[in-house]
Amino acid sequence: MTISHPTTPLVAILRGLQPTEAVAVAQALFDAGFRALEVPLNRPGALDCIASMVKLNLPGTLVGGGTMLNVDHVEAVYEAGGRLLVSPNCNPAAIRRAADLGMYCAPGVATPTEAFAALDAGAHALKLFPAEMIGHGGLKAMLSVVPAGTPMWPVGGVTPETMPGWVKAGATGFGIGGALYTPGVTIEQLSERAAAFVNTWRGLAA
């Protein structure tokens, strides 16, 4: 089974997104260079948002769910067309089911124990959460023990200004929430914020 990997490892966390704005928000983020869109399931309308964004057929873009805590969440997101699992925790059963369905899995981990449990279950990337608690030192320590090449994505409090320090510590991508999208943000504001993140990432990747 072929797993689609995000061509740009920046995940837009769209907490509180409404179905009526999902298409416009997804298009703006795509135009700015984002290629991974996550709608957390702990807000109403998340599955409708995912379904609407999937129908846009944005080239090279992974759409899926966040706060995916169990196998039922995996099944619901997959049925809506989502092919990306993001979670704040490490639930091996959920990761395993999502991987079996061909979804790209980026579960949350905060310790080496969780990191190895996630990888054993089929995770493709590790979401370091909460990043503020783990810190650069925690990321470096984690990188010293996980398999070489494991994608490590800090999530929590990430801004364009903090990205260089994380990359220097070994981060290979990011999940970006409130500094990018909050309910009520205009498309113009969203586009400006998204461009700042993408431009910073491209500069660091170069």
**Catalytic machinery residues:** 38, 127
In DSSP notation, 4-59 reads: PPPSS-EEEE-TT--TTTHHHHHHHHHHHT--EEEEETTSTTHHHHHHHHHHT--T
Quickly list H helices, the chain: 22-32, 46-55, 71-79, 92-100, 112-121, 131-143, 163-169, 187-205
Name the token pair of 191.
Answer: 């586009």
Mapping DSSP to helix (H, G, I), strand (E, B) and coil, where does residue 154 land?
strand
Cis amide prior to 130 (ω within 30 degrees): yes
| Cα R_g (the chain), whole angstroms | 16
Q: Characterize 29-59 residue by residue with b for buried, 16 or more Cβ atoms within 10 angstroms of its Cβ, and e for exposed.
A: bbebbbbbbbbbbebeebbbbbbbbbeeebe
